Structure 1
Amino acid sequence: MSENLTGLRREITALGERVAALVSTHAMYPDDARGTAEAALAELEYAERLLGEADDLLGRAQSEQPGPRRPGDDGDRILLRAMFAELSVPVVLLDHDGHIRRINNAGAAQLGSAPGYLTGKPFAHFVDLRRRATMRSWLASVLRGDGPASLESRLAQRGWAEDVHLTLTRLELPTEAQPLVLVAMSPPMSGSEEEGPAPLEPEVEDQVVVLAARRLDVLTRMTRLLLRSAGPGGRGEPLALADAAELLADSYADWVIVDVCDLPTGPDAARRAAVAGPPDAPEELTREVAAAAPRDSGIPGDVLGGGQSLLFPLIEDEGVLGHAASGAPLLAALGAGSLLSVPLRGSRGVRGALTLIRRSNRGSFRLADLGLIEEIGEHIGLALPPRPSA
């Protein structure tokens, strides 16, 4: 047993050195990315075999010791866990429901969080909305025993998006009633077909002073807009709402939706009053968002009904904004990464809901953003004309 462990550890050390060399080669020669990625994939497959050997050693250690556990058994278990944690290849072990059972340090760095935070979370929540359905289908196929799967995917979490190549392999352990799935992450085999807008620059986005100035600028511009629409010669409610949505979409979000209740009969009477999106958004997609009924979605239906703001720095349920005519979730079609929705509160209660969406490669909405949009929502609610009696 000890000789096998020594050999396994030696192989893992050599694998780490080769992976480091591939990373260095990719940095120096980015034009050779395809060849480097193919070599990295071969190393990932080898890493999976090493993990399988480690599991066999652990299984034999458990089966060969039916009596009291010897002190060496705990040492072997600790050694195997340490080797998994320090493996240079990002790997994640998923349970039968797709939740993260264990993740090594390289995998945690790939997902942008600590291993302790990630353990127990659904792995699908860290996959971009447009790629989740594909990943879930392949995961189900691997769990059924249809063989390993290899696919291109995209990770998205809190302000960044990164294309990756995922390799899924089924594992059956004697200590587990259900099979597990090992997910290895590597650079994509080819360039991304869907680049999307450039991410915000982290060195700027993380500066508190710059963020505060940006929020003050948005609030000032919105106040001027509402004052102009309310004064003599103002353009009226519909234009004010459309202009407000355009202002926020231009300076603070990618998509902005305004829903208004014209009658005091609750959220079922709400209508979609304005929709604004990015300049590169297809007109058909904008029309689908505008045609969706607020009452058919969790958001902004919950905001209209309960009058409470909602903040989703990471979107877990892609169906909360409703579905397109094709049945696809609207949030997935919008490439959403984070979302917030606040009530438009007038002098006599909630008059509507203001919903902002940022795409997955932009910085996520934070509590400070929620406070600003709540204030803007209150200003818009007070500027709405009195609604007629029921």
Structure 2
Amino acid sequence: MSDNLADLQREINSLSERVAALRNTHATYPGDAGGTAEAALAELEYAERLLGDAGGELARALSGPAEPRRSGDDNDRVLLRAMFNELSVPVVLLDHDGYIRRINNAGAEQLGGAPGYVTGKPFAHFVDLRKRAAMQSWLAAVLRGNGPASLESRLAQRGWAEDVHLTLTRLELPTEAQPLVLVAMSPPMNGADEDGPSPLEPEVEDQVVVLAARRLDVLTRMTRLLLRGTTPTRALALTDAADLLADSYADWVIIDVCDLPEDPNAARRAAVIGPADAPEGQRDEVAALPPGDSDIPREVLGRGQSLLFPLIEDETVLGNMGAGAPALGVLGAGSLLSVPLRGSRGVRGALTLIRRSNRSSFRLADLGLIEEIGEHIGLALPPRPL
């Protein structure tokens, strides 16, 4: 067995060198992406075979009748783990329910976190909402034994989005009651951008000082707006407030107002502002969604408590569009927060902000700022009609 492991280690070292050469070639000659991608796919298929061999060796090491452990077996297992962790191809091992069982260092870097952070989380939560359903369907097909699957997808987490090619392979190990799935990640094969917001480079605004300055600027501008508008109509005041937040803090801003405190389901959608590049008619579709038919803002209006989703796990919480598609998926949402508009006599409405998956996620500091802005807007609302 040790000879087999030594051969595997040599092959992995050679593979790592070739992958590094392909990566450098792609960076130097981006116009030749097609040829580089074909070579990368061939290397990915070879890496898949190597991982299968390594998995078989590990399964044989862990199976068999119970007997005293030998130091050689322990060394082999340590070597196999090291080979998996240091493999230059990003790979993830999923359990039967789609949760990350194990991930190598390259895979954790691809998902934007440390191995200990991402292990135990559903892999689907790292996939952009637009691509999540397709990935889950392919994952189910692979688990059913329909053979390996290859698909174009998009990862989105913590302020970035990246198109990737996923290769899913079913693994059956003697030590596991249910089959596992090995997911290998590589650059997209088509070389074209997918639909939805384009991926962004890491934002300079992630610096703590810059973020604090931006939050203070937003609060100051909102306060000035509300103080300046002493006698505006309600719609104009709310539209201006939503437009200010959309201009500097979010992609979508939704304001719902409840004129009957005893019936949060009777809330009306008072203002909707979206990004300039939103498809024609999309803003009207969001405006037409009844607030009382979705978990957000109905829960905010009913309980008077704020909600923060740094990573959106359920894309149905804002309701469904006319065609039945979840609204958050259609909007390409990556992060959301919703706060009550609290006036002198209780909750008057809800303020909901959405950032798309190519922007940094909302944080607790953002929630505190928007809660204060929500209270200012609630105090500036005209009295409820008698």
TM-score by length of 2: 0.96
- Count of residue correspondences: 385
Which residue is equivalent to 2:130?
130
Q: Distance in 1 between matches of 2:326 and 2:145?
A: 29
| 1:163-178 equivalent positions in 2, closer than 5 A | 163-178=163-178
* TM-superposition CA deviations, 1:321-374 (whole Å, max 9, x none): 111121111001001111111100000111110000011111111111111111
Q: Which residue of 2 aligns with 1:352?
A: 349
Contact 2:156-2:334 within 8 A present in 1 as well: yes
Q: Which residue of 1 aligns with 2:337?
A: 340
1:243-296: CA deviation from partner (whole Å, max 9, x where unpaired) = 111111111100000011111223112111111001111232111111111122
Q: What residue is the counterpart of 1:243 in the other structure?
A: 240
Unaligned runs of 5+ in 2: none
Contact 2:258–2:349 (Cα < 8 Å) also in 1: yes
Counterpart among 376, 383, 386 of residue 383 in structure 2: 386
Give 1:64 shift.
Answer: 4.7
| Structure 2 CA distance for aligned equivalents of residues 243 and 261 of structure 1 | 19
TM-aligned CA deviation for residue 36 of structure 1: 1.1
Could you list the structure 1 runs, at least 4 aligned residues long, displaced by more than 3 angstroms after superposition.
62-66
Q: Which whole-Å CA distance do the structure 1 matches of 2:381 and 2:59 have between them?
A: 68
Cα displacement (A) at 1:317: 1.0
SS of residue matched to 1:283: coil
Partner residue of 2:266 out of 256, 263, 269:
269
Distance across 1 between alignment mates of 2:283 and 2:63: 61
Counterpart CA distance in 2 for 1:264 and 1:300 is: 14
For the Cα contact (< 8 Å) 2:197–2:332, is it kept in 1?
Answer: no
In 2: Cα distance, 1:15 partner to 1:284 partner = 50
Kindly indicate whether residue 295 of structure 2 is the aligned counterpart of residue 294 of structure 1: no
* Identical positions, percent: 78
How far, CA to CA, are the matches of 1:114 and 1:68 in structure 2? 35
| Structure 1: tracts of 5 or more residues without a match | none
TM-score (norm 1): 0.96
| Residue number in structure 1 paired with 2:312 | 315
CA-to-partner distance for each residue in 1:44-72, whole Å, 9 max, x for gaps?
11111111111221222334554222222
Conserved in 1, the CA contact under 8 Å of 2:197 and 2:357?
no
Give the direction of change, closer, same or farther, for the CA distance of 1:28–1:195 in structure 2 (3 Å limit).
farther
Q: Retained in 2: the 8 A contact 1:111–1:126?
A: yes
**1:329 is aligned with what amino acid?**
P
1-structure distance, mates of 2:104, 2:34? 25
Corresponding residue of 2:41: 41
Q: CA deviation at 1:131?
A: 0.4
What do the CA deviations read for 1:97-140 (whole angstroms, capped 9, x no partner)? 11101000000000010101111100000000000011011111
Distance 2:314 2:84 in 1: 31
Would the alpha carbon gap of residues 197 and 149 (structure 1) be closer, same or farther in structure 2, given more than 3 Å must change?
Answer: closer
Matches of 2:336 and 2:64, distance apart in 1? 53
**Inter-partner Cα distance in structure 2 for 1:284 and 1:182:** 41
**1:39 Cα deviation from its structure 2 partner:** 1.1
Structure 2 contact 166–184 (Cα < 8 Å) conserved: yes
Indicate the residue corresponding to 2:93 in structure 1: 93
Q: Report the equivalent of 1:16.
A: 16
Structure 1 residues 157 and 32: alpha-carbon distance in aligned structure 2, compared to 1, 3 A threshold? same
Task: Show the 5 A alignment for 1:43-192.
Answer: 43-189=43-189, 190-192=191-193
Which whole-Å CA distance do the structure 2 matches of 1:147 and 1:353 have between them? 48
Structure 2 distance, partners of 1:154, 1:245, is 30
Letter paired with 2:264 = P
Note if contact 1:200-1:362 (Cα within 8 Å) is conserved in structure 2. no
Aligned to 1:366: 363
Alignment-mate amino acid for residue 334 of structure 1? L
Supply the RMSD in Å over aligned alpha carbons: 1.4
Is this contact kept in 2: 1:86–1:106, CA < 8 A?
Answer: yes
Q: Tell me how far 1:195 sits from its aligned partner.
A: 6.0
**Corresponding residue for 1:217?**
217
